């Protein structure tokens, strides 16, 4: 690292963090954390972009805002969809081998999209293919230093309340402090705070909790997206995801009698926005009725486009050629997060956020399918470019106050918290259940003083004060 230059510290090495790090050249970058097991790498869906004949960014924007229940920041949506074709071209230039049909893009369709506009790489292994290409690009970037086994432990604020330093912890438990005026949080979502989630174990809200503890404002914390088709299998940990593209290709949700679940409930039936489908699956399961994803109509050729989903089913003794797969809603994406402006700035000077941990308003009350990887690329490149000019280390403010997230829970308490949030902040909510969950967090001695409980309390509070249903936030007691 060059003398006199303050590094840019990027915490989180999923797609958003990788894009920031690469775009920040020539500024020295410390990229903290590994990409393996990130939500980006696990993504089966692709990237939404208006690339097909007759498609336009304006139509992509209409679908984004319709899925987001009109709660979207329209300017941010326009910025996202307008940049989408270039984002795909840029990724291809980095070595992502997107699927083609001859000279044309192979475009799939997912829920909430009025037409086929999803580009994939390796079928339903898109996330891993994209992350692998970006990993190779970052590995060849001389300005990036990887700290793959390190984690962000704390941050320091200057007397004026700006970012002054970070404290990192290695795999051996040793800590080190690094002075920096700029910290980018790309730490992902909150899924593993819930009993049922498709998210990796790292998506526990740690970056969001640290930012809120430091005084950065949050935004839209109540909006949690539930994917309607996680594979309903026993055990703890992330549930296998059956990509929405399966329904785009013709798979159908059915009940135990074989009746189509979504018929007559929405004009788009199985391709209705995720919140609509997830609520119906939730209601039926709460009533004791199983729901299945029937992929048999796809046949051998159709299923060949979904090797990841097929392998996941077979690993659990399900042959999708013959057997419908049992499914459940599961936490998939957090539309809320650290409030950021169009340039990724939070309300705390020097603290920036990108990807799922950030909330610019682009997703509104419910994210449109395959807009998340797109946001990582568009917002990550823009943020990295803005932060690319090195700052002089001699004007670095001195750390005055260290901010830690606080003590964490033990395993048993975390299981209780996950069950509590799943019951109270699932696809259908009501004030009495939310209030009881808040009370439980206050009185349970194993939870009351932990950072997970403080973050959960913020989520519950946000869900309680939004009394009307909107998008993924559905209140059964709404007038």
Assess whether 144 and 268 both reside in one domain: no
Query: Measuring CA to CA, which residue among 187, 68, 46 is closest to residue 125?
Result: 46
Which of 316, 331, 346 is at the close of a domain?
A: 331
Residues 49-71 have a mean pLDDT of 95
pLDDT beyond 50 at 159: yes
pLDDT over 90 for what percent of the chain?
80
Is there a contact between 315 and 255 (Cβ–Cβ < 8 Å)? no
Residues 354-362 have a mean pLDDT of 97
Whole-structure pTM value: 0.92
pLDDT for residue 37: 63
The gap between the terminal CA atoms of the chain, to the nearest Å, is 59
Q: Which of the residues 117, 146, 254, 274 is marked catalytic? A: 274
Assess whether 12 and 145 both reside in one domain: yes
pLDDT for residue 12: 94
Assess whether 350 and 423 both reside in one domain: no
Look at residue 82 and tell me if it is in a domain. Answer: yes
Residue 274: its H or E element: helix 274-286
Which tokens belong to 448? 């009351």
Assess whether 231 and 287 both reside in one domain: yes
pLDDT beyond 60 at 440: yes
Look at residue 275 and tell me if it is in a domain. Answer: yes
- Sign for the CA dihedral angle at 177, 183, 188, 191 comes to positive
pLDDT for residue 396: 62
Q: Is residue 274 among the annotated active site residues?
A: yes
Assess whether 79 and 139 both reside in one domain: yes
Which domain, by its residues, includes 417? 411-465
Residues 443-469 have a mean pLDDT of 95
What's the CATH number where 278 sits? 3.90.700.10
pLDDT beyond 90 at 418: yes
Look at residue 475 and tell me if it is in a domain. Answer: no
Which of 403, 428, 450 is at the close of a domain?
A: 403
pLDDT for residue 237: 78
Residues 401-428 have a mean pLDDT of 94
């Amino acid at each position: 690292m060059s003398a006199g230059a303050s590094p840019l510290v990027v915490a989180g090495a999923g797609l958003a963090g990788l894009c920031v790090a690469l775009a920040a050249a020539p500024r020295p970058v410390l990229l903290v954390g590994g990409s393996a097991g990130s939500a980006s790498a696990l993504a089966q869906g692709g990237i939404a972009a208006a690339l097909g004949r007759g498609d336009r960014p304006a139509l992509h924007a209409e679908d984004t805002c319709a899925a987001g229940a009109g709660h979207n920041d329209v300017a941010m949506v326009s910025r996202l969809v307008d940049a989408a074709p270039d984002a795909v071209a840029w990724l291809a230039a980095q070595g992502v081998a997107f699927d083609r049909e001859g000279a044309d893009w192979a475009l799939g369709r997912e829920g909430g999209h009025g037409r086929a506009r999803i580009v994939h790489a390796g079928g339903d292994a898109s996330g891993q293919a994209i992350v692998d290409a970006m990993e190779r690009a970052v590995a060849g970037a001389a300005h990036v230093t990887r700290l793959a086994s390190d984690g962000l432990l704390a941050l320091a604020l200057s007397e004026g309340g700006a970012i002054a330093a970070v404290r990192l912890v290695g795999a051996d438990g040793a800590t080190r402090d690094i002075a920096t005026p700029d910290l980018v949080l790309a730490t992902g979502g909150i899924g593993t705070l819930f009993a049922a989630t498709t998210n990796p174990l790292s998506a526990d809200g740690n970056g969001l909790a640290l930012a809120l503890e430091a005084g950065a404002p949050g935004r839209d914390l109540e909006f949690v997206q539930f994917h309607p088709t996680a594979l309903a299998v026993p055990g703890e940990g992330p549930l296998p995801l059956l990509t929405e593209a399966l329904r785009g290709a013709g798979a159908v949700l059915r009940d135990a009698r074989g009746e189509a679940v979504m018929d007559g409930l929405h004009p788009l039936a199985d391709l209705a926005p995720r919140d609509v489908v997830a609520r119906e699956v939730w209601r039926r399961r709460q009533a004791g009725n199983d729901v299945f994803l029937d992929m048999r109509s796809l046949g051998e050729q159709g299923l060949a486009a979904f090797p990841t989903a097929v392998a996941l089913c077979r690993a659990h003794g399900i042959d999708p050629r013959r057997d419908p797969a049992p499914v459940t809603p599961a936490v998939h994406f957090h539309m809320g997060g650290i409030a950021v402006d169009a340039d990724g700035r939070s309300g705390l000077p020097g603290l920036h956020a990108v990807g799922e941990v950030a909330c610019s308003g682009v997703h509104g009350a419910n994210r449109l399918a395959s807009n998340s990887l797109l946001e990582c690329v568009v917002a990550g490149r823009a943020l990295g470019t803005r932060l690319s000019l090195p700052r002089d280390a001699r004007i670095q403010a001195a750390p005055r106050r260290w901010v830690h997230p606080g003590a964490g829970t033990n395993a048993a308490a975390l299981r209780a918290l996950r069950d509590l949030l799943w019951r109270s902040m699932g696809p259908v909510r009501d004030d009495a259940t939310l209030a009881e969950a808040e009370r439980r967090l206050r009185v349970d001695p194993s939870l009351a003083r932990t950072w997970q409980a403080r973050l959960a309390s913020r989520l519950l509070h946000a869900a309680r004060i939004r009394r009307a249903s909107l998008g993924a936030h559905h209140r059964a007691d709404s007038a």
